[in-house]
């Protein structure tokens, strides 16, 4: 029987939650505390680079009950700062599993804390917004100091900590796609890989480098942190608009928005989960979507832009812009995750929309094909 390791989670406002430590032993782990409402997919969530700088609270009470496997890993490492759960399953059971979550956390050096009243914590975050926090085996006084010293995610470039440092290719589809890696998920690459050979490039790759590869399309990936800290990258994206079909997801959507002159803002507690209703304004179809973001594009900033930009999708919970199109430029993006991983697949058609753009008569004529 394993030894119980007592610990505590302390928020920057002084709120204390007592619990039991799981995963790798850390005296102190700090980050911006957010909550995720997904009922499953904890392995994909933990390995999603978009959570860099954050401590993930799972609202579903039982975590780890179906174990972990080698397939549902979304990146080369773990970039979140820790996890907060109500109950870690003592036994796992699933035909796909080849290990348990506790060991998975230990092997990757990630700490967690269980036994937490995650309902109370989630209500607090919902009412007051995402807040810095710290957890571990240290004293409450030390954890409080660490929480108050944590910078959060506003005003910080986290993409540089998750992007690839070398180019690589993925997939074998019939087209040629250049994908910016701002923290790209493996599930996204699997979808893109069916459309074409994907050349994945570092976040700081120049527009001229991308165009020299003569791609059929360019993809702007998901990623963590404040898009306002990435304006040099947005400036390069601006040079691609109208020259090649563009498709962006999550942070890629936000950076496309900034590239065309729109502004971005931070949401109180973000959207994290697999059950957000979104309306596609181009079809009037309602979709249930997977989401993971703390920042969003401000649709009110579209008026007065040099380019004709329209909002294509809207979040039905709070009216946040969930998609945009640069009219006449073969360029669009969405805030939610059509690849899911985890989540519903209502929006997977957007990859086909990207393929249609790459194959459109306008594109073929422009490329001289």
Q: Catalytic site residues?
A: 250, 337, 339
**CA-CA distance, 344 to 277, in Å (whole number)?**
11
Distances (CA, A) of 8 to 103, 129, 266, 269, 287: 21, 20, 28, 22, 39
User: What is the residue-wise DSSP string for 202-263?
Assistant: ETT--HHHHHHT--SEEEE----S-GGGGHHHHHHHHTTTTTS-EEEETHHHHHHHHHTT--
CB within 8 A of 135, min separation 6: which ones? 7, 8, 9, 10, 19, 21, 28, 29, 55, 82, 84, 111, 113, 143
Q: Are 196 and 217 in contact (CB under 8 A)?
A: yes
What strands lie across the sheet with 196-202, from one edge to the other? Answer: 168-170, 196-202, 175-181, 217-220, 246-249, 331-334, 321-326, 309-315, 264-280, 285-297
**CA-CA distance, 358 to 364, in Å (whole number)?**
8
φ and ψ at residue 119, rounded to 5 degrees: -70, -45
């Amino acid at each position: 029987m394993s030894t119980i390791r007592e610990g505590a989670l302390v928020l920057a406002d002084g709120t204390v939650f007592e619990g039991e430590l799981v995963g790798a032993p850390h005296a102190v782990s700090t980050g911006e505390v957010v909550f995720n409402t997904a009922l499953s997919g904890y392995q994909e969530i933990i390995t999603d680079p978009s959570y860099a700088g954050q401590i993930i609270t799972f609202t579903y009470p039982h975590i780890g009950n179906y174990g972990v496997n080698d397939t549902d890993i979304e990146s080369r490492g773990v970039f979140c700062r820790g996890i907060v759960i109500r109950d870690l399953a003592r036994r796992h059971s699933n035909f796909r599993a080849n290990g348990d979550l506790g060991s998975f956390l230990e092997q990757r050096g990630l700490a967690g804390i269980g036994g937490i009243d995650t309902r109370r914590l989630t209500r607090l975050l919902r009412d007051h917004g995402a807040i810095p926090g710290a957890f571990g085996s240290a004293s409450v006084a030390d954890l409080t100091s660490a929480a108050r010293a944590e910078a959060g995610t506003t005003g910080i470039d986290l993409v540089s900590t998750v992007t690839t440092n070398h180019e690589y290719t993925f997939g074998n589809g019939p087209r040629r796609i250049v994908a910016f890696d701002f923290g790209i998920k493996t599930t996204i690459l699997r979808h893109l890989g069916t459309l074409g050979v994907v050349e994945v490039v570092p976040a700081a790759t120049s527009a001229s480098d991308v165009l020299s590869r003569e791609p059929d399309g360019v993809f702007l990936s998901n990623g963590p942190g404040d898009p306002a800290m990435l304006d040099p990258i947005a400036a390069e994206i601006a040079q691609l608009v109208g020259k090649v079909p563009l498709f962006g997801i999550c942070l890629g959507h936000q950076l496309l928005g900034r590239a065309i002159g729109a502004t971005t803002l931070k949401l109180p507690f973000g959207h994290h989960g697999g059950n957000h209703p979104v309306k596609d304004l181009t079809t009037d179809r309602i979709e249930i979507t997977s989401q993971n973001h703390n920042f969003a594009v401000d649709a009110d900033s579209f008026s007065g832009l040099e380019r004709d930009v329209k909002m294509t999708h809207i979040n039905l919970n709070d009216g946040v812009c969930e998609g945009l199109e640069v009219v006449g430029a073969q360029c669009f993006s969405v805030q939610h995750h059509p690849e899911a991983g985890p989540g519903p697949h209502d929006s997977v058609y957007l990859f086909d929309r990207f393929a249609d753009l790459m194959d459109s008569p306008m594109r073929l004529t422009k490329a001289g094909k």
